[in-house]
Structure 1
Amino acid sequence: MKFTGTDAYVATDDLTVAVNAAVTLQRPLLVKGEPGTGKTELAHQVAKSLGVPMLEWHIKSTTKAQQGLYEYDAVSRLRDSQLGDPKVNDVANYIKKGKLWEAFEAPERVVLLIDEIDKADIEFPNDLLQELDKMEFFVYETGQTVKAAQRPIVIITSNNEKELPDAFLRRCFFHYIQFPDTDVMRKIVEVHHPGIKSDLLTTALTQFYEIRDQAGLKKKPSTSEVLDWLKLLLAEDLTAEDLKRDGASALPRLHGALLKNEQDVHLFERLAFMARGQR
């Protein structure tokens, strides 16, 4: 099983090497990178490329590691016992399987995405160490041990909002997705907007990277945002000539797709004001 990318996803050579290395080592693949660089989509495309099902576990700040294994609904069982419901005699009726359990008992190998692990409490990764290592866990309420029929391909994403524990990092194969350079970005755009005019794309990407390189920018626009911006430019049937700025404003056309807070908008407005004052 080798990942080589798909028609819908431009995977660089180092990324395909990282995916295949993690599969070979049977280690979770920890993927970091700026938001919008395709970390989550990578898991979807790996599943598509390898022809296997996919399970997604999206992590929130309140998510606990136990939820990935199972949850025991003691409250419902107590209520049912008070109502005389016969199903209370089987505790398994009150066990809700988590995503790891589903991945472990799947009849075929699956891709398991643990998305944005850095959103959770710092203890969250450590609480999953043994389960991801041994590919099994114990259900105390029923006395059963759940073992993985086949080791899932685990892909874990992080936006680098907090440091992950060393013990967890040691068990992962790590890859950082670099922000695409112009050549890679052109390939990505061609996948999403095939046949886009070369002069329009050149002008648009020049402005996009100028914005990203601007000192003092609070939030750099991402790959997903430039794709949205290009979609708007095409919908408005704008040309490369239409994108040229006259100096009255340093803001690009339809800048709301690229700049997502008022500080960055004001930054470019100040730049335009300063440019006018130097004339």
Structure 2
Amino acid sequence: MQFQGTADYVADKDLMIAVNAAIRLERPLLVKGEPGTGKTELARQVAAALGIEMLEWNVKSTTKAQQGLYEYDAVSRLRDSQLGDARVHDVNNYIRKGKLWQAFSAAKKCVLLIDEIDKADIEFPNDLLQELDRMEFHVYETGETVTARVRPIVIITSNNEKELPDAFLRRCFFHYIRFPDVETLEKIVEVHYPGIRKTLLGNALSQFYEIRETPGLKKKPSTSEALDWIRLLVAEDVDPADLRGDARNALPKLHGALLKNEQDVHLFERLAFMARRER
């Protein structure tokens, strides 16, 4: 299996090497990068390119590792026993399979996405060490051991909100998705908006990178936010000439797509005010 990118996803050479190395080593691929740089979409595109199923496990702050294996509903079983339900005699009726179990029991190779692992408790990655390493786990309620029929391609994403344990990192192949340069971002935009006017694209990206490089910016706009902004510029038929000049001289047009907190909006308002005073 070789990942060569897709028509809908611009993957650079280093990213393709990382995906294929993880597949070859049969190790989880840990992908880090700024939010909005296409980490989650990578898993979907790998599955699409290889023609295999994808299972997605979205991690939250309250997610426990056990939920990825299975959950045993003891409360429902107790209630059914009180009601005399015959289902109570089979414990399997009260076990809900998690995403890891589903991936392990799949008849064909699939992609398992563990999305935003850094949102969970610090012990979450440690609790999955053996399961991801050995590709098996024990079900205590039934006494069975679930072993992967075909080893899945595991892709794990992190926004770097917290450090991951060394023991977990040792078991992964790591890749950091760097923020794209102008040329790469042009290709990404053209994939999403084929036929976009070159002057609009050039002026928009010029202003976008000026905004990202503004000193004091609390949250730099991401790739996905750039795409949203350009989509609005196209929909509003904005004149490319209106986007020329220094982005710090005024609030960007449709700035709500790029600036996501009041501190950054106030920063650009102050810069615009100071620029007007100097004229």
TM-score (norm 1): 0.98
Q: Counterpart of 2:129? A: 129
Q: Counterpart of 1:21? A: 21
- Where do 1:215-226 residues align within 5 Å? 215-226=215-226
- 1:94 aligned to 2:94? yes
- 1:247–1:276 CA contact under 8 A, matched in 2: no
- Offset from partner CA, 1:139-195 (integer Å, 9 cap, x none): 000010000000000000000000000000000000000000000000000000101
SS in 1 for 2:87: helix
Distance 1:246 1:101, change over 3 A: closer
Q: Which amino acid aligns with 2:196?
A: I
- Offset from partner CA, 1:177-233 (integer Å, 9 cap, x none): 000000000000000010111111110000000000001001000000110111111
Q: Counterpart of 2:109? A: 109
- 1:58 aligned to 2:55? no
- 2:210–2:246 CA contact under 8 A, matched in 1: no
Comparing 152-161 and 250-259, the one that deviates more: 250-259
- Where do 1:12-91 residues align within 5 Å? 12-91=12-91
Q: Counterpart of 1:183? A: 183
Comparing 128-137 and 268-277, the one that deviates more: 268-277
Distance 1:108 1:25, change over 3 A: same
SS in 1 for 2:49: helix
Structure 1 segments, 4+ long, off by >6 Å, are none
- 1:245–1:252 CA contact under 8 A, matched in 2: no
Distance 1:248 1:67, change over 3 A: closer
Shift of 1:245: 5.5
Give, in whole Å, the separation in 1 of the partners of 2:89 and 2:69: 22
Q: Which runs of 5+ in 2 are unaligned?
A: none
Give, in whole Å, the separation in 2 of the partners of 1:134 and 1:221: 39
SS in 2 for 1:156: strand
Give, in whole Å, the separation in 2 of the partners of 1:234 and 1:10: 21
What is the identity percentage for the equivalent residue pairs of Structure 1 and Structure 2? Answer: 76
- 1:125–1:164 CA contact under 8 A, matched in 2: yes
Q: Counterpart of 2:237? A: 237
Comparing 230-239 and 15-24, the one that deviates more: 230-239
- 1:228–1:257 CA contact under 8 A, matched in 2: yes
Shift of 1:122: 0.2
- 2:207–2:246 CA contact under 8 A, matched in 1: no
Q: Which amino acid aligns with 2:264?
A: D
SS in 2 for 1:137: strand
Q: What count of residue pairs does the alignment treat as equivalent?
A: 279
Give, in whole Å, the separation in 1 of the partners of 2:21 and 2:161: 25
